[in-house]
C-alpha cells in the first residue's frame, strides 16, 4: 500500500513505497508548469535519500526550462529565505520534517518564499489532473547554479536582526548543548551559536544524515539529551528537528522548557520592544493571550498550519507569530517558522532579563495541554464535529478549523485528520490534572455520539 500523502504544503511518503522517482517527476513537472518561467531555489535536509531526490527534482526542473539555484543541505527556512532574498520564482524544500529516516518529501514554495496558498494549491492540482508531461527542447532547458552562500547569508542576517545585540549576548558566554539529530541543523546551529559567543557542546551533530533516535523533538524522545544538558551544567539545551523550523528548548535543570513556551517567550520579548498584533493558530496556548494582554496588544488566531498562520499575520500586520510546536515566525526576517530566529530571540531575552532558562519559564503564564485522539472507524468525522457544535451551541465557538470552544477555565479544540479517520482532542487548563480530566470527558462525549 502506497504511503504517499498529499497536502497544501506538498507531498511526502516512504522512499521506495509511494515516494518514487516517477511521482517526484510528476509533481515537480506540475510545479514547474505552475511557476511558468524563472528560477527555483532547491535545498534539502540531510537525510540519506536527499541526494537522489535532489537529482530528480533538479533534472526535472531543468528539463522544464526552469533555472535552478541549488543551495545544498540546509534548513527549510533557509530555502524560504533564499527565495525571498534572491527574488526567485519559487522554491522546493526536500525534507520530510520530523518523519523517520525512510521518509522524504517535497515542500512547494511560492514566489514569496512561503508555502502555497489554498488558491495556488488548487491551481497546482488542476495542472496535475491534466497529467500533461511536456519538456523543453535541447536549447531551451534550464541552467543550474550552485549558491553555497545561502547558509552564511541566513546566519548573518539573523545575527543582524532588529532587537538582537550580538555584543551583549557574547558577554553572557552561554554554555549551550545542541542536539541536531544528525539533520540539516548540523550545518548551521553550532556555527550560529559560536557566532553568539556560546560555548557549544554538540550532540547528534554528525553529517551522516541517519537519525539516531525518533527525530520529532518530543520530551519522550529527548531523555538522553535532557540528561546530557544537566550533566554538562549547560545554561540551556537547543534541539531542532531535521529541517530546523521548530525550536525546542531544555532548561538548565535538564527539563523541557515546553514548546508552547517557546512561542510565548518570543511574543513576550518582541512585544516588549514593539507593540503590535500577534497571530498564532487555534491550538496554541492561551499564555500568548495573557502576555499580549499585558502589553495591551491583540492576538488573532488561524487554522493550524504555517501557511494559515502566515496568512493571518499578513492580514493583521502582526509583529510576531507562530505555532505552539516551537515554530517562531518573525516577519522582520521572513514569513516562515525559523529555529535560527527563535534561538536569537531566546538568547537576547535571557541576556536582557538576566534570568536562567528555568526562571524564564516560571515567569510565563502557566498552562497545561493534553492531547488525545479517537479512531472513528466507519463514522464520518464531520458528523461528529457537527453534533459537538450542536451540543455546545451556547458557548464561545470557532469553526474555522474543526471546532474550538473557549471556556473561562479551559479550552478544547476538536480537529479531524486529513489522512486518517480520527479526531484529535486538544485541551488546555491551569493544571495538568484539569487538562487531562477535560480531555477524558470530551473523549467520552465523542464515544457517546458514535454509539
Beta bridge partners of 59: none
Residue 252 to residues 83, 173, 196, 239, 447, Cα–Cα distance (Å) = 37, 14, 18, 14, 42
Transcribe 185-215 into DSSP letters.
GGGTHHHHHHHTT-EEEEES--TT---SS-S
End-to-end CA distance of the chain: 30
Q: The C-alpha cell of 77 is what? A: 527556512
Residue 240 to residues 63, 216, 233, 250, Cα–Cα distance (Å) = 35, 9, 20, 11
Is the CB of residue 225 less than 8 Å from the CB of residue 216?
A: no
Q: Is 97 noted as a catalytic residue in this protein?
A: yes
Q: The C-alpha cell of 237 is what? A: 539545551
Q: Which H or E run contains 5?
A: strand 5-7
Is the CB of residue 387 less than 8 Å from the CB of residue 451?
A: no
- Name the DSSP class of 117: P
Q: How many residues appear in the chain?
A: 451
User: What's the chain's Rg over C-alpha atoms?
Assistant: 22
**Which 3 state secondary structure label does DSSP give 238?**
strand
Q: Which residues contact 104 (CB under 8 A, 6 or more apart)?
A: 12, 13, 15, 19, 47, 49, 50, 53, 94, 95, 96
Q: The C-alpha cell of 108 is what? A: 512547494
Q: Which H or E run contains 261?
A: helix 259-273
Q: The C-alpha cell of 327 is what? A: 515554530
Q: The C-alpha cell of 170 is what? A: 557574547
Q: What angle, rounded to 10 degrees, do the helices at 150-159 and 76-85 form?
A: 90
> Where would I find the beta strands (DSSP E) of 223-381?
236-240, 247-250, 278-281, 299-302, 320-323, 327-329, 368-375
Catalytic option among 49, 89, 95, 97:
97
Is the CB of residue 430 less than 8 Å from the CB of residue 368?
A: yes
Transcribe 339-385 into DSSP letters.
HHHHHHHHHHHHHHH---HHHHHHHSPP-EEEEEEEE-TTS-HHHHH
Active-site amino acid positions = 97
Amino acid at each position: 500500500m502506497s504511503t504517499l500523502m498529499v497536502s497544501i504544503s506538498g507531498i511526502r511518503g516512504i522512499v521506495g513505497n509511494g515516494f518514487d522517482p516517477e511521482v517526484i517527476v510528476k509533481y515537480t513537472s506540475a510545479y514547474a508548469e505552475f511557476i511558468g518561467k524563472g528560477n527555483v531555489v532547491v535545498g534539502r535536509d540531510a537525510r540519506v535519500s536527499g541526494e537522489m531526490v535532489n537529482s530528480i527534482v533538479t533534472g526535472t526542473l531543468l528539463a522544464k526550462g526552469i533555472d535552478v539555484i541549488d543551495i545544498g543541505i540546509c534548513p527549510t527556512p533557509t530555502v524560504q529565505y533564499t527565495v525571498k532574498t534572491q527574488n526567485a520564482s519559487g522554491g522546493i524544500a526536500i525534507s520530510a520534517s520530523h518523519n523517520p529516516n525512510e521518509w522524504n518529501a517535497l515542500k512547494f514554495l511560492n514566489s514569496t518564499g512561503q508555502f502555497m496558498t489554498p488558491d495556488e494549491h488548487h491551481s497546482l492540482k488542476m495542472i496535475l489532473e491534466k497529467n500533461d508531461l511536456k519538456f523543453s527542447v535541447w536549447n531551451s532547458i534550464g541552467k543550474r547554479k550552485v549558491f553555497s552562500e545561502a547558509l552564511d547569508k541566513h546566519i548573518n542576517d539573523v545575527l543582524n536582526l532588529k532587537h538582537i545585540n550580538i555584543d551583549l549576548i557574547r558577554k553572557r558566554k552561554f554554555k549551550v548543548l545542541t542536539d541536531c539529530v544528525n539533520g540539516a541543523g548540523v550545518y548551521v546551529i553550532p556555527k550560529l551559536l559560536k557566532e553568539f559567543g556560546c560555548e557549544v557542546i554538540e550532540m547528534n551533530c554528525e553529517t551522516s544524515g541517519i537519525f539516531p533516535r525518533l527525530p520529532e523533538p518530543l520530551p519522550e524522545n529527548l531523555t538522553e539529551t535532557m540528561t546530557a544538558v544537566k550533566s554538562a551544567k549547560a545554561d540551556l539545551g537547543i534541539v531542532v528537528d531535521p529541517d530546523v523550523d521548530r525550536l525546542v528548548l531544555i532548561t538548565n535543570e535538564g527539563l523541557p522548557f515546553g514548546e508552547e513556551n517557546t512561542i510565548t517567550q518570543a511574543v513576550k520579548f518582541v512585544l516588549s520592544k514593539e507593540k503590535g498584533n500577534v497571530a498564532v493558530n487555534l491550538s496554541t496556548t492561551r499564555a500568548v493571550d495573557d502576555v499580549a494582554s499585558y502589553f495591551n496588544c491583540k492576538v488573532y488566531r488561524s487554522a493550524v498550519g504555517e501557511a494559515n498562520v502566515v496568512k493571518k499575520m499578513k492580514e493583521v500586520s502582526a509583529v510576531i507569530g507562530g505555532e505552539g510546536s516551537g515554530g517562531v515566525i518573525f516577519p522582520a526576517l521572513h514569513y516562515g517558522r525559523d529555529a535560527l530566529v527563535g534561538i536569537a530571540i531566546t538568547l537576547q531575552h535571557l541576556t536582557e532579563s538576566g534570568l536562567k532558562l528555568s526562571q524564564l519559564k516560571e515567569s510565563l503564564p502557566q498552562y497545561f495541554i493534553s492531547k488525545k485522539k479517537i479512531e472513528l472507524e466507519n463514522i464520518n468525522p464531520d458528523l461528529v464535529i457537527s453534533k459537538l457544535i450542536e451540543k455546545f451551541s451556547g458557548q464561545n465557538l470557532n469553526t474555522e478549523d474543526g471546532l474550538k470552544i473557549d471556556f473561562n477555565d479551559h479550552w478544547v479544540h476538536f480537529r479531524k485528520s486529513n489522512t486518517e479517520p480520527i479526531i484529535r482532542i486538544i485541551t488546555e487548563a491551569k493544571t495538568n490534572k484539569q487538562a487531562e480530566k477535560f480531555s477524558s470527558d470530551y473523549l467520552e462525549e465523542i464515544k457517546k455520539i458514535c454509539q
